[in-house]
Amino acid sequence: MNNKKTSRDAQFMRISRQLLLRLLLAIFLYSMLGLIVYVLAIFIFGSFTWYGDELFYPILHWLNLRKDLFGLAYIIIGYCVIFVYYWRKPFRYLSEIVDATRNIFEHDDSLIELSTPLSVIESQMNQIKITTTNNERSAREAEQRKNDLVAYLAHDLKTPITSLIGYLTLLKDESQISKELQERYLSISLDKAGHLDDLINEFFEITRFNLSHITLEYERVNLTRMLEQLSYEFKPMFTEKNLKCLLSAPPDIMIRCDGNKLQRALDNLLRNAVNYGFENTSIRITAASFQNYVQLSFENSGNTISEEKLDRLFEQFYRLDSSRSSKSGGSGLGLAIAKEIIEAHRGNISAFSEDEIIRLDITLPLS
């Protein structure tokens, strides 16, 4: 608040100084103009010998007798005009700013143009307009992505439900079904029910992300153990794609954090590496402890991500795989949630991709 007040005061003083300097300069130039005209008049008309019968002599004589009065009128009228002009300047500036304020919220790409003394304010207002326009565009795109995702999920819900109902109906109606076929139908029904559960959880994930605020409950956590446990829990997913998980971390890295939320963030990062990693490759998790922070990285082999997509990787509802199926791509919230949790811990996360290598780097303070 004090910084904003100081900035406003500095701008006010700068504009005030400019107006004062221009006012003094106008007065000086006007005074010099009057003095120069007076000196030139004396020099020019004094260089002639007047006899009194010249055509302009009565007028010039009359002006000469009243030169003090005309000089005083010149000063008073001129100074009044100058003062009124510069007195109205701040109101003109204010009017410009008011009109420009309306332009901030107009949905066009035109930039605000103000008078030269207001160049700093012009730059700030243009920055506000650009930021506001970008935020509105991002919000619309995020809302559209969310709506598309919900539509895709709703569509995807029909498939497992239809299959589940079909197989359960077969089990109910076929009284002479063999035990082997019965077990097969039950196994398929269980798989479909699991898929249905995943889709429903994605709906809840969208709701939680939009409605909840992250609050942290700090505790001392063994980060190395957390990573070991995480890699162990993912073994079934690794086996499904024939992936190897290589963990490199010094023993017992102790960190002060919200263990549950940090585990959720790391879970999302590892799940992303599995979903977008090539089969028959390795996922490399590394951790290194420094004096005040810990460095983590999740690296996998996968399709190289372009710079444009890399910049949007942590946006909510953004999915690298834009296909309709949500089974492999997820809800597009995993990395966005991970980023929010890591930044809530005063850490940061970044993404790198080159030569079919994808790496997510995380920095977290130790305390």
Q: Give the pLDDT confidence of 14-60 residue by residue, as tens digits.
A: 777 887 888 899 999 999 998 898 888 888 877 777 777 777 778 87
pLDDT score at 128: 82
CA 359/CA 159 separation, integer angstroms? 34
Confidence tier at 294 by pLDDT (50, 70, 90):
very high
Q: Does residue 325 register a pLDDT over 50?
A: no
Confirm whether 32 is domain-assigned: yes
163 and 274 inside one domain: no
CA 68/CA 114 separation, integer angstroms? 43
281 contacts 300 by C-beta, under 8 angstroms = yes
Q: How many distinct structural domains can be found in the chain? A: 3
Higher local confidence (pLDDT), 329 or 302: 302
Considering the chain, what is the average pLDDT of its residues? 80
For tokens 């300069």, the residue is 25
pLDDT score at 324: 39
Query: Between 119-173 and 2-46, two packed helices, what is the crossing angle to 10 degrees?
Result: 150
Q: Best-predicted range by mean pLDDT among 10-14, 34-38, 59-63, 160-164?
A: 34-38
Q: Does residue 212 register a pLDDT over 70?
A: no
Weakest-pLDDT range from 230-239, 247-256, 329-338: 329-338
User: CA dist 6 to 18, 19, 125, Å?
Assistant: 18, 20, 18
Confirm whether 136 is domain-assigned: no
**CATH number of the CATH domain containing 193:** 1.10.287.130
349 and 285 inside one domain: yes
Confirm whether 123 is domain-assigned: no
Q: Does residue 326 register a pLDDT over 50?
A: no
pLDDT score at 7: 63
> Could you tell me which of 286, 303, 284 has the C-alpha nearest to residue 294?
286
Cβ neighbours for 243, distance < 8 A, ≥ 6 positions apart: 237, 274, 277, 279, 280, 281, 282, 283
CA 295/CA 155 separation, integer angstroms? 41
Q: Does residue 159 register a pLDDT over 70?
A: no
The CA-based angle 44-47-51, given to 5 degrees, is 115
CA 21/CA 124 separation, integer angstroms? 24
296 and 330 inside one domain: yes
pLDDT score at 287: 92
Helix (H) or strand (E) run with residue 255 in it:
strand 254-257
Confidence tier at 1 by pLDDT (50, 70, 90):
low
Q: What is the DSSP letter of 110?
A: P
Confirm whether 110 is domain-assigned: no
248 contacts 285 by C-beta, under 8 angstroms = yes
Confirm whether 155 is domain-assigned: yes
pLDDT score at 323: 46
Confirm whether 158 is domain-assigned: yes
239 contacts 232 by C-beta, under 8 angstroms = no
Instruction: Look at the pTM and tell me if it is higher than 0.85.
Output: no
Cβ neighbours for 11, distance < 8 A, ≥ 6 positions apart: 120, 121
The arrangement of strands across the sheet holding 357-365 comes to 244-248, 282-289, 293-301, 357-365, 348-354
188 and 149 inside one domain: yes
pLDDT score at 310: 79
224 and 355 inside one domain: yes
Q: Is residue 316 exposed (0-12), middle (13-18) or buried (19+ Cβ within 10 Å)?
A: buried
Higher local confidence (pLDDT), 34 or 308: 34
232 and 289 inside one domain: yes
DSSP result, 47-83:
TSPP-S-SSSHHHHHHHHHTHHHHHHHHHHHHHHHHH
Higher local confidence (pLDDT), 139 or 321: 139
Confidence tier at 10 by pLDDT (50, 70, 90):
confident
Q: Best-predicted range by mean pLDDT among 129-143, 203-217, 310-324, 352-366?
A: 352-366
For tokens 């153990």, the residue is 225
228 and 349 inside one domain: yes
199 and 234 inside one domain: no
Confidence tier at 196 by pLDDT (50, 70, 90):
confident
Over residues 190-207, the mean pLDDT reads: 72
Q: Does residue 154 register a pLDDT over 80?
A: no
Confirm whether 120 is domain-assigned: no
pLDDT score at 85: 86
Higher local confidence (pLDDT), 16 or 284: 284
Confirm whether 133 is domain-assigned: no
| Residue 165: both structure tokens together | 């109902």
pLDDT score at 208: 63
Q: Does residue 156 register a pLDDT over 70?
A: no
163 and 93 inside one domain: no
- Report pLDDT digits (tens) over 68-90: 888 889 889 999 998 888 888 87
Over residues 97-117, the mean pLDDT reads: 76
274 contacts 241 by C-beta, under 8 angstroms = yes
Q: Which domain holds residue 317?
A: 219-365
Phi and psi, residue 278, nearest 5°: -70, 150
% of the chain exceeding 90 in pLDDT: 16
Query: Between 2-46 and 67-104, two packed helices, what is the crossing angle to 10 degrees?
Result: 150
**CATH number of the CATH domain containing 317:** 3.30.565.10
145 and 270 inside one domain: no
Q: Does residue 223 register a pLDDT over 80?
A: yes
226 and 187 inside one domain: no
